[in-house]
Amino acid sequence: MKNLLMTPGPTPIPEEARFAMAKSIIHHRTDEYSEIFKELSKNLKYLFKTENPVITLTSSGTGGMEASVANLFSKGDKVVVVSVGNFGERFVKLCDIYGLEVVKLSYNWGEAAKANDLKEVLAKEEGVKGVFLTHHETSTGVLNDVKSFGEILKGTDILFVVDTISGLIANEFETDNWGVDCAVAGSQKGFMAPPGLAFVSLSEKAQKALDKSDLPKFYFSFKNTLNRLPEGQNPTTPAVNLIIATNEACKMLKKEGLENVTARHKNLKEAVAIGIKALGLEFFVKDEAVRGNTVTAVVAPEGVDGQAVNNTMRDKYGITIAGGQGAIKGKIFRLGHLGDVDRFDVLSLFSALEMTLNDLGYKGFEAGSSLKAIQKYYLR
């Protein structure tokens, strides 16, 4: 049975990146490695749309999130954490662990955050040092309007930290133009690379904040990492082959063109939405305007366990999708359309989804209806 990965991360890895990772390993304290790492760092600036440095950490995206807390703030600092789902809650936990004073701005899962609400919070709260926001909330598929939040924080001393781990590349994101001081991403999402690398962009304001932070850090020290960046080196042993593979994937993305890559993901999202409607299913995120290009969350039809959809797709038909998290586990399933994915992958996805829903007793559609609707969309 062939296997297809249709999750919001990890995502399918192109052949070029896989072959690059399979080459004989090289030593990291060599000119050969330094040139590759310098090229990756330059490519990262292109993908983040920033003129500021982007550092690479050997960790998952969560390591980058934790490092942003530990490097930019001090114990007792007051911060606002905007939470619209599971990964917004992760920022809350990280800030709590490091002893920050958290003002939480929460929304129901499936809803997007509103910039005006932040404006009201800042008018009431004095001495706020940072605002944390999730760009794309992977647990629900909601896309937050980072630009509007950045406009509120423009000209202030408040640091704007954004988790764009599953948002970057697939969705529009302009680090510098939107006033983002610290943006965190991960290799296993839109970068089309294996898990294991986190990327963090740092504005001049964020770099100055590094000297004020009194929180403990060693392995994830931004200052140490920045100091070695100009020479194409890392302070400790990096994940050499992961860096080589990610650089190959970045070169592919650059060749396709970032705007074209984002447009491709938008088209994939639209095709998936058409298929969902054809099957008579319900979107978890009701507002179409805030559905991201990364993943689509679908409400499991009455009488069907969302986790059973996930398991059947994977075990019987060889297509891995994602289930619900937290309080919505078993109530939804999530269809990823991120990374090295094309229109034929979407057609395969819906072919298996129709058979899965039929196996689980959902009869609210005519066989082939989603495939027909998606093909009509592509023919247009």
Q: Model confidence over 100-129: pLDDT tens digits?
A: 999 999 999 999 999 999 999 999 999 999
Instruction: Give the closest residue to 314 by CA, choosing from 271, 352, 285.
Output: 352
**Residue 374, both tokens:** 């998606």
Contact between 286 and 110 under an 8 Å Cβ cutoff? The reply is: yes
pLDDT digit string, tens, across residues 310-327: 999 999 999 999 999 998
Q: Is 29 helix (H, G, I), strand (E, B) or coil?
A: coil
Contact between 327 and 109 under an 8 Å Cβ cutoff? The reply is: yes
pLDDT digit string, tens, across residues 195-250: 999 999 999 999 999 999 999 999 999 999 999 999 999 999 999 999 999 999 99
Q: Residue 21: how many CB atoms within 10 A of its CB?
A: 21
What pLDDT does residue 226 have?
98
Q: Which domains does the chain have, with CATH numbers?
A: 4-8+258-379 (3.90.1150.10), 15-255 (3.40.640.10)
Residue 291 annotated as lining a ligand binding site = no
Rg (CA), the chain: 21
pLDDT digit string, tens, across residues 240-277: 999 999 999 999 999 999 999 999 999 999 999 999 99
> What element of type H or E holds 55?
strand 54-58
Which one-letter amino acid corresponds to residue 359? Answer: D
Kindly tell me if the per-residue pLDDT of 1 is higher than 90: no
Could you tell me how far CA 256 lies from the centroid of its own chain?
Answer: 20
Which one-letter amino acid corresponds to residue 290? Answer: V
The model's pTM is 0.97
- Is the bond leading into 216 cis (omega within 30 degrees of zero)? no
Contacts of 31 (CB under 8 A, 6+ apart): none
Q: What is the DSSP letter of 290?
A: G
By percentage, how much of the chain surpasses pLDDT 70? Answer: 100
